[in-house]
Amino acid sequence: MTPATAAQVLYDDILNLPLALSEHGQLKGVLDQVAKVIEFRDLLSDVLEKQRIRRALIEELASLFDCPEVIAELIDMDSAPLARQLIEGTPKHPDSLEKYLDPSRYAIPPLPNTFFTRDATMCVNDRVVIGSMAFRARAAEALLLKAIFKGSGGDRLRRAHFGGRYRPPDALDRQPGPGD
């Protein structure tokens, strides 16, 4: 992240990477004491082993960022480096004058908002709702989450809904509370 790109990814300030990594390590250490912590990148790497999900995600990202020239390269990558690259940014291979003149170094930009995934999804009982993000900077994050939840299988979740168009059942399996 640079001062020039901070606003594009909806940040007010530049993330202090060493501090963020230190705080992440501390939080993970505390959570490891009481739960099994699974990193976002590891989940993504696991589901990218499934060729159908890998291809669909890569094609959706390439369409979102108008970079079909990177599809073949990304599909051929091993899952772990691919997951890392989809989060940290895919370098561009300018195949047109317009792309050559674009100041961005990335075909698929880094996704610093994956550091704060709390507002892109919500859980309702055993269901996950993945938000329809209002900005392109967040849409790629939602696509990665969609791939993770759809590809994780029934042992983790029964159903994931994508795009913000899902209308949950009226009751939401909610227990009546005081005053109901």
pLDDT tens-digit map of 74-133: 999 999 999 999 998 998 877 767 666 776 778 888 887 776 555 667 777 777 777 666
Q: How many CB atoms lie within 10 A of CB 115?
A: 14
pLDDT digits (tens, 9 = 90+) for 132-142: 666 666 778 88
Q: Tell me whether residue 26 is in a domain.
A: yes
Residue 89 maps to a domain: yes
Asked if 122 contacts 128 with a C-beta cutoff of 8 angstroms, the reply is yes
With a CB cutoff of 8 Å and minimum separation 6, the contacts of 2 are 14
- Quick check: is 127 in a domain? yes
81 within domain boundaries: yes
| The overall pTM is greater than 0.85 | no
Residue 148 lies in a domain: yes
First to last CA, the chain: 48
CA distances from 11 to 1, 3, 152 (A): 10, 10, 30
- Residue 107 falls inside a structural domain: yes
The domain in which residue 43 lies consists of 14-162
Q: What is the Cα Rg of the chain in Å? A: 18
**What are residue 53's phi and psi, to 5 degrees?**
-70, -40
Q: Per the structure, how many domains does the chain have?
A: 1
In a domain, 169, yes or no: no
DSSP 3-state of 89: coil
Cα–Cα nearest to 45, from 89, 90, 92, 85: 85
